Structure 1
Amino acid sequence: MLIKKRVFAAQFIRRPDRFQAYVNKCGEEILVHVPNTGRCKEILIPGATVLLREELNPTRKTLYDLIGAYKGNRFINIDSQIPNKVVEEALNDKKIDKLIEYNTVQREKTFGNSRFDFKLSNDIGEVYYLEVKGVTLEVDGRSTFPDAPTQRGNKHLLELIEAKKSGFGAGVLFLIQMNNIDNFSPNDDMDVAFGESLRLAFNSGVDIFAYECEVGEEFITLSKAVEIIL
């Protein structure tokens, strides 16, 4: 998918809270919105080159969203609103082999006590619930999730297990918002409960997907599956 709004480079200064950051744009220190509740500590470091997306909304307090950053030569998209859009495009373009049989794609559908990102269905009445998680944490080509404790993410996994027990298809897709990734694993050091639930989900028949992206300053698209190490 293309990022159709104007984008600008800046230098990261600091992040006083989850949703705000200060950057240096053309010699001026400005406040921007950070559309990611994760920690991103290894990405958002002082002096890092970051990418800002212009948001011309008169009701906003800030003019820009901080949507990505360079970690060395690697550009990482950190916009938490992007993964569902990228996966929806991939589903419609039949890029995810195991899910190509589903021709109806619905967003934000409820099962049990959770609202999943996608409900997929086909002409013979089969239904599949898919949850999407954006991944921005990478060390030496190894990607992991989460980068902050996530009770909500754990709840989604347990609900996917219940969906599978109820006779529906169920899966979680980790969209790695960068390229050149060797493998993906749960981040047990950050959230051991999530890792345990992910392994339980796998052993219960829930599909686990991990895909990296081709990503640049003005585009991001799902590209290829990466090895999953549970």
Structure 2
Amino acid sequence: MQFNKPLKQGVLRKRYKRFLADIDFGDGHITTVHCPNTGAMTGCAEPGYEAWCSDSENPKRKYQQTWELARDFNNHWIVVNTQRANTIAGEALQQRTISTLADITDWQAERKYGEQNSRIDWLGTCPDGSHCFVEVKSVTLAEGEYGYFPDAVSTRGQKHLQELIQMRQQGHRAVLLFLVMHSAIEQVSPAAHIDPKYAQLCREAANAGVEFYAVKSSISEQQITVDRPLTVNLPGS
């Protein structure tokens, strides 16, 4: 995924009210921008981090700029705009960059499925005509080289795992794809210390045949692409 126009670089002063961040672009005043990340953003939004923002060029928007990327004090890149995750994953799936899913075709985004009328991030067709359901989760919580998901208790994430189990029971492939969007992370685990129920459901899902993969992103102010696979450490494995 390439950014259509150059991002504007500044320094983060603070993130607040979940959706707002104050950025110093060095022009003599502080600019409030939209923060498209509703998560805890632990370790991703410290004052003083470098920040890159896109410009909507829409004068009707209250906050015209959107916070896209951060770089921490150790020069690690972080994708702040987690809404980019599905696009990045989708490009990799369609280009067959992810080897474990390279035989799947006809990828479609945001298709309704399941008993609760949810939307799967990506739906593909397997060689035997069955479907492949892929749920994408962006991972930005880093503790050293270890990455964790979620960064807060996620009832929505728990529901997605239960629905993937149902799809597997119906004979389809069901995949949880952790998209790592923090350059420090080299392996991924469900965050049992944050959401033990989610971690337990990951183990139940794996036992039911749900597949778990993690891929690392290559991040710069020009583009974000899928780089290479990482290890997923599931509870009890």
Which portions of structure 1, spanning 4 or more consecutive aligned residues, are displaced by more than 4 angstroms? none
Aligned partner of 1:15: which letter?
R
Cα deviations by residue, 1:93-144 (Å, 9 ceiling, x for unpaired): 1111221111100011122112110110146412111100111111211111
Structure 1 residues 122 and 207: alpha-carbon distance in aligned structure 2, compared to 1, 3 A threshold: closer
- More displaced, 203-212 or 90-99? 90-99
- Find out whether 1:127 has 2:131 as its counterpart: yes
State the match for 1:5 in structure 2.
5
Is contact 2:142–2:182 with CA below 8 Å preserved after alignment? Answer: no
SS at match of 1:148: coil
SS at match of 1:73: coil
State the match for 1:33 in structure 2.
34
After superposition, residues 203-214 of structure 1 pair within 5 angstroms as 203-214=207-218
Is contact 2:158–2:201 with CA below 8 Å preserved after alignment? Answer: yes
TM-score normalised by L of structure 2 = 0.93
Cα deviations by residue, 1:68-106 (Å, 9 ceiling, x for unpaired): 111221111121111111111111111112211111000
State the match for 1:69 in structure 2.
70
State the match for 1:179 in structure 2.
183
Q: 1:86 aligns with which of 85, 88, 93?
A: 88
TM-score normalised by L of structure 1 = 0.95
Q: 1:98 aligns with which of 97, 100, 114?
A: 100
CA apart distance, 1:178 = 3.0
State the match for 1:169 in structure 2.
173
Show structure 1 runs of 5+ residues with no match. Answer: none
Separation in structure 2 between the aligned mates of residue 59 and residue 163 of structure 1, nearest angstrom: 42
Structure 1 residues 142 and 22: alpha-carbon distance in aligned structure 2, compared to 1, 3 A threshold: same
Separation in structure 2 between the aligned mates of residue 161 and residue 223 of structure 1, nearest angstrom: 28
CA apart distance, 1:175 = 0.2
Aligned partner of 2:86: which letter?
N
Tell me the C-alpha RMSD between the 2 structures.
1.3
Is contact 1:147–1:190 with CA below 8 Å preserved after alignment? Answer: yes
SS at match of 1:83: helix
Q: 1:199 aligns with which of 197, 203, 221?
A: 203
- More displaced, 156-165 or 57-66? 57-66
Is contact 2:44–2:80 with CA below 8 Å preserved after alignment? Answer: no
Cα deviations by residue, 1:133-165 (Å, 9 ceiling, x for unpaired): 111111211111111221111100000000000
Aligned partner of 1:162: which letter?
Q
CA apart distance, 1:170 = 0.4
Counting aligned pairs with the same residue, the percent is 32
CA apart distance, 1:59 = 2.8
Q: 2:152 aligns with which of 141, 148, 151?
A: 148
